[in-house]
Copies of this chain bind each other. A is one copy, B any other.
Amino acid sequence: MIELRNFVKNIKPYKPGKAIEDIAREQGLTGEILKLASNENPLGPPPTAVAALKKSLNKLNIYPDDNCFHLKHRLSTKYKIPINQIIIGNGSVELIELIFKAYVNPGDEVIMSEPSFIMYKIACQIFGGKMVSIPLVDFKHNIEKITQAINTKTKIIIIDNPINPTGTIITKEQFDQFIKKIPDHVILVIDEAYNEYIEDEFYPKAPNYLLKHSNLIALHTFSKIYGLAGLRIGYGFSSPDIITALMKVRLPFNVNRAGQAAASAALDDKDFVKKSIANNEEGKKFFYKELKKLGLEYVPTYGNFIMVEFSKEAMEIFNLAQKRGVILRTIYEYGLSHHLRITIGTPQQNERVIRVLKEII
């Protein structure tokens, strides 16, 4: 066997996820399967995005615009941030890796919460960074401990706001204090995949802090509220210097043509975003009410998902729900053995989840 790169040797072998059809076949499931496991938008892709994509179909033989000019231009207008402070990725997950690829030397310290998105850890491992994990407190980031962990070797702090899978946020007040304490040699990455769902004035949207903080990176995505997870479009805002560095290490033509066309159109679809927020708010209220009736603990959420605690082992609940055609998300990899994460669906889907939970808890 050919020797692997040192930092890759300890990475665990990859377990491919299963397609819904495979699960159905293996489990002998009949009837309509409901998967509320990946925090996708239950309203589907935006109709305007689908229409824009259709117009681009006759050009699929042509390489995509390597600089994503049109999409960057649309983001620039919407966020009032110059084009040289924007980067587009093959999902924001690619941008996470680019940050490590551009900046992390072996031994550099990377501070993250524990539990944290698995990709933060993998990217850190691939480039030989030293992970410094700070446990959540009450399912929230422990800002104080994170700040205390900063030293001269710290290169990156990467946290999500809101947190997946707990759904909690750092408030504006907390963030204002926190960001002041980040030294110049440290990059602060705020992963805001779910930001568009949050209309709460206490939520600090990271792009608003760019003007004063050149070492900040804000990550957003078209996979959640914009309903385009299948096309893989994430984007990031930062200072011109950091964006230049990330552009250096990205692959050419990393963002496909269909995705660029659809995302540009989705950004203009205010109606779709409004409907998605309304559906999510309605779903949250429904779940809060019904989970309470069932005597189940949950964490109030700022995302399009809700984390629920069970008295039984999570895998047992997962299996029982799956047998009834409802696929939820275990979160063992986040160190949580008695919780499931449920994506908020349409009213009809949410009702089905509650019906199934009633049967099995």
Interface residues of A (CB under 8 A from B): 1-6, 8, 11-14, 16-19, 22, 38, 40-45, 49-50, 53-54, 56-67, 69-70, 90-91, 93-94, 97, 101-105, 119, 126-127, 155, 184-187, 215, 223, 227-232, 241-242, 244-245, 247-254, 256-259, 262
In the complex, the answer to whether A258 meets B230 with C-beta atoms within 8 Å is: yes
In the complex, the answer to whether A126 meets B101 with C-beta atoms within 8 Å is: yes
Q: Is the interface of A mostly helix, strand, loop or mixed?
A: loop
Of B19, B94, B101, the residue contacting A8 (CB under 8 A) is B101
Give the distance in Å from the alpha carbon of A332 to the alpha carbon of B295 in the complex: 70
Known contacts A101-B126, A119-B252, A249-B126; A228/B60 CB under 8 A = yes
Q: Which residue of B lies closest to A11 (CB)?
A: B248
Q: Which residue of B lies closest to A44 (CB)?
A: B61
Of B57, B66, B251, the residue contacting A16 (CB under 8 A) is B66
Q: Which residue of B lies closest to A42 (CB)?
A: B61
Q: Which residue of B lies closest to A261 (CB)?
A: B230
| Residues in chain B near residue A50, CB distance under 8 A | 57-58, 60
Give A11 Cβ to nearest chain B Cβ, in Å: 5
In the complex, the answer to whether B231 meets A256 with C-beta atoms within 8 Å is: yes
Q: Which residue of B lies closest to A266 (CB)?
A: B60
Of B63, B227, B244, the residue contacting A229 (CB under 8 A) is B63
In the complex, the answer to whether A254 meets B90 with C-beta atoms within 8 Å is: yes
Give the distance in Å from the alpha carbon of A127 to the alpha carbon of B257 in the complex: 28
In the complex, the answer to whether B93 meets A251 with C-beta atoms within 8 Å is: yes
Per CB-CB distance, the 9 closest pairs between chain A and chain B, nearest first, are A230-B257, A16-B67, A45-B60, A61-B227, A60-B230, A14-B247, A17-B66, A258-B258, A63-B229
Give the distance in Å from the alpha carbon of A54 to the alpha carbon of B60 in the complex: 12
Give the distance in Å from the alpha carbon of A58 to the alpha carbon of B54 in the complex: 12
Q: Which residue of B lies closest to A104 (CB)?
A: B5
| Residues in chain B near residue A230, CB distance under 8 A | 56, 59-64, 256-258
In the complex, the answer to whether B67 meets A5 with C-beta atoms within 8 Å is: no
Known contacts A19-B67, A43-B61, A64-B229, then 19 further A-B pairs from the complex at CB < 8 Å, ordered by chain A residue = A2-B215, A2-B242, A11-B248, A13-B247, A14-B248, A40-B61, A45-B57, A45-B59, A54-B54, A54-B57, A60-B228, A63-B223, A90-B90, A93-B251, A101-B126, A119-B252, A126-B249, A256-B256, A258-B259
